[in-house]
Structure 1
Amino acid sequence: MRILILGGTSDGRALAELLQPAGPRPGSADRALSVVSSLAGRVRSPRLPPGEVRIGGFGGVAGLVAYLRGEAVTHVVDATHPFAAGMTANAAAACAETGVPLTILRRPGWTAQPGDRWHRVASLAEAAEVLPGLGERVFLTTGRQDLAAFAELDLWFLVRSVDPPDPPVPRRMRSILARGPFTVDGETALLREHAVDVLVTKDSGGADTAAKLTAARALGVPVVMVDRPALPPGVPVVATPEEAVAGL
């Protein structure tokens, strides 16, 4: 088996760890295999998974097809971010063309709890449309490459990302660089310090960045939640790295 993990997430790193040839252990896979993790290279200092790693794009569907054939890849696991819709679509198309089995690893999205004031939207553009009616001081956690949708709004933004934001950016903005996991106490203090009255986030799921939702609930801060893009039809989907290993 030659397994390609399309990674860049904590789940991708966990899957690579489970598949490393370090001897049998509970939850580990058959050792007659090799694994390579592929990262897009959009973060300057990514957390690297164990084992073989490649960084950079493939060059669209044609480039991925060539890679799968050239590397004799037998299985692909798409463990990219839930909003990496382009890479997921390319993986589905390339695997369909080559006949290589594809599994999508997607952690469950977040679920609203009693006391939450969520406003679900289908896109960043829709998030920008509803924001002026919800607050004036925005905590924006959608990522450094997604600020263009909010650049023309006359609101104040606190933007958090791993690397500095890419222009265009909002005119009134403070940028902070940080990487999760975050704590509820820390997120609560951050919202209070900056008098945040509305939070915008993508429905990424997972525990690393969920503390902001707990803090917003406690403080009564409304949340604009951007829904995930649809997945390609007919592709098996698992929720955990362990389920991915079992499928492989």
Structure 2
Amino acid sequence: MPLELVTLRCLKDNYAYLLHSDAGTVLIDAPEAMPVLTELEARGWGLDAILLTHHHDDHIQAVPEIVAATGARVIGAAADAHRLPPLDVSVAPGEPLEVLGEPVHVIDVSGHTVGHVAFHFPNSAMAFTADSLMALGCGRLFEGDPATMWDSLSRLNALPGDTLICSGHDYCTGNGAFALSVDPDNTALQDRLSAIAEARIPCAPATLEVERATNPFLRPAALAPTLGMAGADDAQVFARLRRMKDDF
């Protein structure tokens, strides 16, 4: 049976996620303590672990307060351990990990930062991608380069289409406006943005299939002719799109 997913709005535009089963409860990223602790109390849940995707403050700053309140273990990337809160469990991409009785695939999604990881729960068809693959976009390249980020997005794009992509922020207004600027005739994109604006669907999470149809950073081959780059490889087109978004 798939894990129960609860999406939490934190800070100005962050998402954090609770996963729950009979085996317990875990949190993905810790932007802000109050929404997490309030939700746990309302549901009568404890907290067994916090999984951290990367070191930016708006994903880790509430770890000490939440750990103090719940006793949760902290799990994060070994490569990023020097700038994460103290880890109880260090993991590396490709190493086995089990959470709430399910196997978890740790995926290297460097680009936004070096050492950023995503957590893929294949049995429950969920991937927690934080600031790598985002709703209608991808993260800025603060530490990596376009080739690195394209490799990361390609790894995520290889997951099954029904995988729920649980990303780190609601940037749908800006991401959606940029997507429309480069892909104006995309009816799937138009429909998704209309549904988000009318609050009929959330900005995130969304399935990978939906992201493939509407997210310009997963559509370089389709957008290459529009950008005057027919025949260019996908990584080159992605790099152009990322520069355009930076200047948008």
Give the TM bin, normalised by the shorter chain: 0.3 to 0.5
Name whichever structure is richer in helix by fraction.
2
Q: Which has the higher contact order (CA 8 A, sep 6+)?
A: 1
Q: TM-score, normalised by structure 2?
A: 0.32
Higher gyration radius (CA): 1
Q: TM-score, normalised by structure 1?
A: 0.32
